[in-house]
Amino acid sequence: GAVVSQHPSRVICKSGTSVKIECRSLDFQATTMFWYRQFPKQSLMLMATSNEGSKATYEQGVEKDKFLINHASLTLSTLTVTSAHPEDSSFYICSARDQSTGELFFGEGSRLTVL
Amino acid sequence: GNSVTQMEGPVTLSEEAFLTINCTYTATGYPSLFWYVQYPGEGLQLLLKATKADDKGSNKGFEATYRKETTSFHLEKGSVQVSDSAVYFCALSAYGNNRLAFGKGNQVVVIP
């Protein structure tokens, strides 16, 4: 079964609204989680590294005020797309590193459509 | 910078055929190399990995050899099944911290 769960799997929102996507590790603790974005027929692009109890580390070119990341517990990281616009429509994928084994697990992804 | 290049386009083949998906990389230092598989409706799963030159990763009948001289990590399977239909991603980690750089992925469709 899935060990990393993302919610929602699909979301449609109006332009200008904010959307929150959750990433949960179900049976392990993760001090580090990663958020990726995937465009159609493109590779996964790392957006940021989410660190429990501290600020996320964003990759170059990713707007931190646009994509808010909160990693408030060892099993949950959230990505909030603020003031969403159609160009933010994409597939967002998280991964979580099991802090005891170092193994990396991926969520099923969340498809965001901004109208 | 670090990058991964996969062959273009989907791959369609018949059951029991031989599968090869090419992957080449550009990296500083000595990266670890991975193949991930994504079945329909599921998250990416680690298929196999290799951490140093000449290592061969293998799992579920799939193999890939870390070739430093050609900077390649091609995925192969001798006899595919319908259940192997999925998207396959090649990836590298240059710093051992799970910050992965992915290729574009290849859709593999196996026809009965």
Three-state DSSP state, A86: helix
A4 inside 8 A of chain B by CB: yes
pLDDT on residue A2: 59
CB of A32 less than 8 A from some CB of B: yes
In terms of phi and psi (left: phi > 0; alpha: psi -120 to 50; beta: otherwise), the region of B38 is beta
CA B88, B89, B90, B96 torsion-angle sign = negative
Mean pLDDT score across all residues of chain B: 92
Q: pLDDT category, B97, cuts 50, 70, 90?
A: low
Residues from chain B contacting residue A6 (CB–CB below 8 Å): 43
Residue of chain A whose Cα is closest to the Cα of B9: A41
Does the pLDDT at position A70 exceed 80?
A: yes
Over range B71-100, report the average pLDDT. 91
d(CA A83, CA A65) in angstroms, rounded, equals: 10
* pLDDT value at B43 more than 60: yes
Per-residue pLDDT band for B28 (boundaries 50, 70, 90) equals confident
**pLDDT for residue A69 is more than 90:** yes
Distance CA A16, CA A38 (A): 21
**Across all residues in chain A, what is the average pLDDT?**
92
B104 and A108: CB-CB below 8 Å? no
Does the pLDDT at position A40 exceed 90? no
